[in-house]
Amino acid sequence: MLCELGLLWRVMIARATARQRPPKRHIRRRCDRQSVKRLDNRLHSPTKRRGFSLVELIVVMVILGMLAGLVAVRTRGYLINSRKNAVKAEIATILNALETFRIDQGRYPTEDEGLEILREETETWPEGFLTKVPIDPWKNPYLYFVSEEGVEVISLGADGREGGEGEDADFSSTMLEE
């Protein structure tokens, strides 16, 4: 406190005698430890170091929640599209293997033989026509049907049942031809 008063007194005298200013020289101030400690306590008091209020934290959490919701909606759309594209690619791979089997064996596999026969070795294809029979992105096996018109490979979609819309829609090899 004395240190502050001494400094204030010097400033007042310097202003009063502005015209008669003495040459500048280094003035040493004597301050005791208690006055320095009081100044330090005032500068770093708890009122100066306040945190965020509850309302501010709630507002930030609401904004972050809204952003997370937007990201989740966008990513879900991309995930659905990527699964649809994966189904189309896998059905095309299965159709290629079925066509190669037909050329090699002179027939398509029967429904009883299913797609598993494409993994078996033949004289002309020692590794088999497929290394493994793929399952659709929803962890369901592909269905295989033979008719007079040809073959059809079907994925039942996310729900694993016939019919459905959106992600639950069925995907067929006939869709690839369209």
pLDDT band at 93 (very low <50, low <70, confident <90, very high): very high
pLDDT of 16: 65
Angle at 163 between CA 144 and CA 102, to 5 degrees: 15
CA–CA gap between residue 169 and residue 174 (Å, rounded): 14
Average pLDDT, stretch 16-34? 60
% of the chain residues with pLDDT over 90 = 28
pLDDT of 79: 85
Rg for the chain (alpha carbons), in Å? 41
Please check the confidence at residue 65 and state whether its pLDDT lies above 60: yes
Q: Is 10:25 a contact under the CB 8 Å cutoff?
A: no
Both tokens assigned to 2: 């004395």
86: left (phi over 0), alpha (psi -120 to 50) or beta: alpha
Average pLDDT, stretch 68-80? 88
Average pLDDT, stretch 57-84? 91
Domain range summary for the chain, segments of one domain joined by +: 86-177
For residue 151, what are the CA distances in angstroms to 29, 104, 107, 169?
99, 16, 11, 20
pLDDT of 8: 61
Instruction: Say which CATH architecture domain 86-177 belongs to.
Output: 2-Layer Sandwich (3.30)
Please check the confidence at residue 130 and state whether its pLDDT lies above 80: yes
CB atoms within 10 A of CB 153: 22
Give the pLDDT confidence of 134-157 residue by residue, as tens digits. Answer: 889 999 999 999 988 889 999 988
pLDDT of 170: 86
Averaged pLDDT score across all residues of the chain: 81
Pick the most confident of 41-45, 116-120, 125-129, 173-177: 116-120
Give the pLDDT confidence of 101-126 residue by residue, as tens digits. Answer: 999 889 999 999 989 989 888 888 88
pTM over 0.85: no
pLDDT band at 12 (very low <50, low <70, confident <90, very high): low
For residue 141, what are the CA distances in angstroms to 4, 18, 87, 128, 174?
85, 96, 11, 19, 18
